[in-house]
Amino acid sequence: MLYPLKFTPILKDKIWGGQKLKTILNKESDLPNIGESWELSDVEGDTSIVANGSLKGKSLKYLLEEYKSDLLGEKNYKVFGNKFPLLIKFIDAKQDLSIQLHPNDELAAKRHNSFGKTEMWYVFQADDDANLIVGFNQEVTPDKYLKHLEDKTLTEILNFDKVKTGDTYFIEVGRVHAIGAGVMVAEIQQTSDITYRVYDWDRVDDQGNERELHNDLAIDAIDFNMPDNFRVHYSKDENKSNGMVCCPYFDTSYLHVTETLKKQNDKDSFFIYMCVDGEAQFSSNGYNETVKKGETILLPAAIKTYSIQAKDAKLLEVFV
């Protein structure tokens, strides 16, 4: 019988990473620059491994092949088969990330045999005056963009947003963006690791090498007519699911739990919960599992009723 599943985080060393995932979220690692914690991944070569219960040590790939629609839901299994559709991360930017964007489904399939990479960010923690780059601060044509890129003045036409904990952004494919130094986010995205890097602040690695840029690919992937609708406004009512992002790839809600909630899964989908503050206990079919700040749990689609108990826990609730 399937039960609430936790997975061993896959930690990634990044040139721009820091130590907050270790010091704030208690991730165990000796990596010098921990940029990302992949909480739930079916990316080739980075498949998540179950960390709890009778399935401990089994891969997400194994669960998909063994449990199929019981894990994903009937409609999701028809669409995705033995491929988990979401990649769930925590990201810590000690330095600015590269300015980048992601291709849409059509381009990603054609060029990389991959899904596109629609994503959202929930600001988990931010230092004073920290910011994100999202979109442009004026109307920009391809020619104007390329001129600024060539002159290394790209930042003059980019939109900088100062951020604080709880701020949420929806990053559609084709939108230029970057996480700024001092920001830690929870990221929910399609299962894809395709990123087009367009500017990397002229920095070099320990060997003096600059990272690869992808400007030839990026110019066709940028949507220059995208409206400035990336800021997500949502309610924070206690003990109810407050809608944040609803798109063809995932639905995410904010859930502040201060009592015991009885939940009914009528979505024909798995549910993912990312704990962004406090801790909560999930109970189903006699099985209990606690998630603390910085942890993630997957409830398979076969679990139709469950409870969440907490005195003061803040969760991101995700389904497809």
- Written as six digits, the tokens of 104 are 């849409």
> 231 catalytic, yes or no?
no
Strand 46-47 to 119-126 pairing? unpaired
* 277 CB burial (10 A radius; 0-12, 13-18, 19+): middle
Residue tagged active-site, from 175, 197, 211, 231:
197
Amino acid residing at 81: G
Q: CA–CA separation, 245 vs 86, rounded Å? A: 14
Contacts of 313 (CB under 8 A, 6+ apart): 256, 257, 258, 275, 277, 278, 279, 280
User: How far apart are alpha carbons 31 and 36 in whole angstroms?
Assistant: 11
Q: Which residues are catalytic?
A: 197
